[in-house]
């Protein structure tokens, strides 16, 4: 059977061994290179509005039923090895067809701070996590969002949050011209040693920052094709919508339009969309790994007390995911849900999913000034932001998970 994978930029399922190619513009004897123009398929699939060289389907290999590593452009005859997605024509990383490439979608309701969380997580990937796991982590792909590269996106956001201490406006809907494009990371680290030497493993991680409004209704959720393509989900939930949260903590006045959606509503819409897109009947569970992270947990620090086990950060100096600590956190969050009247969330997940885990995270580490959209004067202090991702990576075998003896 021909192996298929998901394009990390447009999220369509594509045959990994039948990728298309892009002209490199070099031309050949007596034939000038192809000019760069707007690519309608790429603009439709990803929102990219720049000019690029044309993409083409290579000829069928007469001896073997696979496509060659290089192909001649039918327009100018240049020999190119730039391979692209057959659907959106976006250049794919070298070795994409030979690597494990889990597509991890990050979703959440309005007001969960997804853009701040993704900015902090991306920065952690390129700094703390890279060093911790002895990996080479970098952005891959060209300027997917138009004039800006993913690296420029991160640098601008890091400057805004870390240096200037400012928050973000709400993310544009996927149906609008201002949608956020995918961020694709290449994670490369040493693997096993063979007779021919040390081998390296490369994994590509794709994240997409969807607008909260896209998950507020079932109809809008159906339009999010990345939910169907995802190999795993990080679901950010708003703890302020728990029934008894307002009685225990000071909830922020950042929902002036009154459109904050409950965590149960968001989960229900996601579940229905997954069942419909993957043809999973109601009497069978969803086996997709789902990391359920309650964001902005810093607002609960005072109410729960500093000695609450949820605030005990696992050892972050080791190059593995602490499975024991993860299970403990899962049970502690489950108890917290019941304490704050959110047990219906646990009931929904337990009766619809076989592979989910709870997390608590805080991208900023302290409650911000919501009225003025400013970070706490103490600066950005990420709290357990990487744990949902590390748990998922351990499920895919990208990082090692370790269970400690009691």
- Written as one string, the DSSP assignment of 147-164 is SS-HHHHHHHHHIIIIIS
The region, left, alpha or beta by phi > 0 then psi within -120 to 50, assigned to residue 133 is: alpha
The pLDDT confidence band at residue 181, using thresholds 50, 70 and 90, is: low
* pLDDT above 70: percentage of residues in the chain: 83
Q: Between β-strands 356-360 and 290-294, what pairing exists: parallel, antiparallel or unpaired?
A: parallel
Any bridge partners for residue 223, and if so which?
none
Region 350-355: mean pLDDT is 96
Q: Between β-strands 401-402 and 321-322, what pairing exists: parallel, antiparallel or unpaired?
A: parallel
- Give me 134's structure tokens: 């002895």
The SS3 assignment for 202 reads strand
What pLDDT does 257 receive? 47
- Written as one string, the DSSP assignment of 205-247 is EEE-B--GGGGSSHHHHHT-THHHH-SEEEEEE-GGGSTTHHH
List pLDDT tens digits, range 321-334. Answer: 999 999 999 999 99
Helices (H), 288-401: 301-304, 323-339, 343-352, 387-395
- Residue 307 to residue 301: CA distance in whole angstroms: 10
- Residue 60 to residue 87: CA distance in whole angstroms: 18
Phi, psi (rounded to 5 degrees) for 108: 180, 165
Report, in angstroms and rounded to the nearest whole number, the Rg of the chain calculated over CA atoms.
22
- Give me 135's structure tokens: 């990996």
Any bridge partners for residue 402, and if so which?
322
Q: Is the pLDDT of residue 178 over 50?
A: no
List pLDDT tens digits, range 287-296. Answer: 999 999 999 9
- Residue 48 to residue 40: CA distance in whole angstroms: 9
| CB distance 180 to 389 below 8 Å | no
The region, left, alpha or beta by phi > 0 then psi within -120 to 50, assigned to residue 402 is: beta
Region 233-238: mean pLDDT is 89
- Residue 350 to residue 145: CA distance in whole angstroms: 38
Cα within 13 Å of Cα(327), Cβ side: 8
- Residue 274 to residue 261: CA distance in whole angstroms: 19
Phi, psi (rounded to 5 degrees) for 193: -95, 130
Q: Is the pLDDT of residue 403 over 70?
A: yes
| pLDDT, mean over the chain | 83
Region 177-189: mean pLDDT is 68
pLDDT higher at 53 or 270: 53
Q: Mark 139-163 as b/e (b = at least 16 C-beta within 10 Å).
A: bbbeebbeeeebeebbeebbebbee
- Residue 280 to residue 277: CA distance in whole angstroms: 8
In terms of average pLDDT, the best of 258-272, 312-326, 348-362 is 348-362
Degrees, nearest 5: CA angle 90-130-320: 115
* Least confident range of 51-55, 84-88, 190-194, 287-291: 190-194
């Amino acid at each position: 059977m021909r192996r298929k994978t998901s394009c990390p930029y447009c999220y369509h399922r594509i045959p990994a061994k039948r990728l298309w190619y892009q002209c490199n513009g070099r031309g050949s004897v007596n034939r000038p290179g192809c000019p760069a123009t707007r690519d309608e398929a790429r603009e439709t699939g990803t929102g990219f509005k720049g000019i690029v060289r044309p993409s083409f389907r290579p000829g069928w290999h007469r001896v073997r039923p696979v496509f060659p590593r290089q192909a001649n452009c039918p327009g100018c005859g240049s020999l190119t090895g730039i391979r692209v997605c057959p659907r959106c024509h976006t250049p794919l990383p070298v070795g994409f067809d030979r690597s494990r490439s889990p597509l991890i979608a990050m979703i959440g309701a309005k007001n969960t701070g997804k853009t701040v969380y993704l900015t902090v997580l991306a920065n952690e990937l390129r700094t703390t996590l890279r060093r911790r796991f002895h990996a080479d982590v970098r952005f891959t792909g060209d300027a997917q969002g138009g004039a800006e590269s993913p690296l420029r996106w991160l640098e601008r956001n890091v400057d805004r949050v870390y240096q200037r201490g400012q928050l973000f406006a709400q993310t544009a809907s996927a149906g609008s011209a201002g949608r956020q494009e995918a961020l694709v990371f290449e994670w490369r680290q040493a693997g096993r040693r063979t007779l021919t030497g040390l081998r390296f493993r490369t994994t590509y991680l794709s994240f997409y920052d969807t607008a909260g409004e896209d998950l507020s209704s079932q109809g809008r959720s159906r339009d999010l094709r990345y939910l169907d393509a995802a190999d795993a989900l990080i679901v950010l939930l708003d703890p302020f919508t728990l029934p008894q949260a307002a009685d225990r903590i000071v909830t922020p006045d950042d929902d002036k339009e009154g459109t904050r959606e409950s965590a149960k509503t968001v989960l229900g819409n996601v579940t229905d969309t997954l069942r419909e897109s993957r043809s999973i009947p109601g009497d069978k569970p969803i086996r997709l790994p789902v990391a359920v992270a309650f964001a902005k947990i810093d607002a609960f620090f005072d109410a729960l007390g500093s000695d609450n086990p949820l605030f005990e950060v696992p050892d972050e100096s080791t190059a593995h995911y602490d499975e024991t600590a993860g299970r403990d956190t899962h049970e502690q969050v489950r108890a917290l849900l019941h304490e704050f009247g959110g047990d219906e969330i646990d009931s929904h997940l337990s009766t619809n999913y076989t592979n989910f885990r709870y997390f608590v995270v805080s991208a900023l580490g302290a409650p911000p000034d919501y009225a003025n959209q400013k970070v706490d004067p103490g600066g950005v202090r990420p709290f357990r932001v990487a744990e949902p991702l590390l748990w998922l990576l351990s499920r895919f075998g990208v990082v090692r998970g370790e269970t400690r003896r009691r």
